Amino acid sequence: MIEIKELFDLTHTQAADYLSAFRYPWEALEGIKQMILDLGEKLPVDEYEQRAEGVWVHKTAKVFPSAYLGAPCIIGPETEVRHCAFIRGSALVGANCVVGNSVELKNVILFDNVQVPHYNYVGDSILGYKSHMGAGSITSNVKSDKSPVVIRDGEHRIETNRKKIGAFLGDYVEVGCNSVLNPGTIIGRNSNIYPVSCVRGIVPENSIWKNGGVIIAKNHEA
């Protein structure tokens, strides 16, 4: 449940070829910047406008005047980048996405139809198709002691050897308002996170993370 093929439908991202070369999503973080630069050079010029060096915006996308687009980044078709959004760089934003007011993106892949609409920080993360982060929810991408992030799958520990890892949201994940996704959090497809949650570890697909970190299967919700 923590592998790329288990979390994401790769038909909904321009990064499909890139991601398919990896087993685990955190392995893909290191090369996102170069992947975007390579991809940008191949984009059809009749569909994408190059607004600055390393910055490509689809002609149907809407970018508000107060938004900042840092290089490299690609903004996909029909996507909205709203007021005061801060795309710090190394961001691949898919089609029909919403990057809302005061949202910050850094070293991320957003699949098509992702919504990060209000006051979100998303760093060193991958958000799957139609995933949504409620207002104020963030990915925490560095541990307080600055040590490398360890992914814990039950009793199995996977050493990532990376100090900066945010979260990986499978397709159709819903994250409630003001939640914090701790470094290395993985949320399986079709799962929901209650508002104001502090999430860590692995949330299985088709699950609900409730108050106090209780996880239940969706079909067993009381």
Q: In 1-93, where does DSSP find H-type helix?
A: 4-7, 16-19, 32-40
At 46, which CATH number? 2.160.10.10
Q: How confident is the model at residue 153, as a pLDDT?
A: 77
Note the pLDDT of residue 177: 98
Give residue 31's pLDDT. Answer: 98
**Helix or strand holding residue 196 (H, E):** none
Domain holding 73, by residue range, is 4-220
Note the pLDDT of residue 222: 47
pTM: 0.96
Distances, alpha carbon 95 to alpha carbons 13, 78, 102, 213, in Å: 8, 6, 20, 33
Six-digit token string for 97 = 């996405």
12 a catalytic residue:
no
Total number of domains constituting the chain? 1
pLDDT along the chain (222 residues), means of 10: 95 98 98 98 97 98 98 98 97 98 98 98 98 98 95 86 97 98 98 97 96 87 48
- Yes or no: say if 103 and 119 are a contact pair by the CB < 8 Å rule: yes
Residues 6+ apart with CB under 8 A from 163: 142, 143, 146, 147, 148, 149
Bridge partner list, 49: 57
The length of the chain, given as a count of residues: 222
Catalytic residue among 58, 118, 156, 220: 118
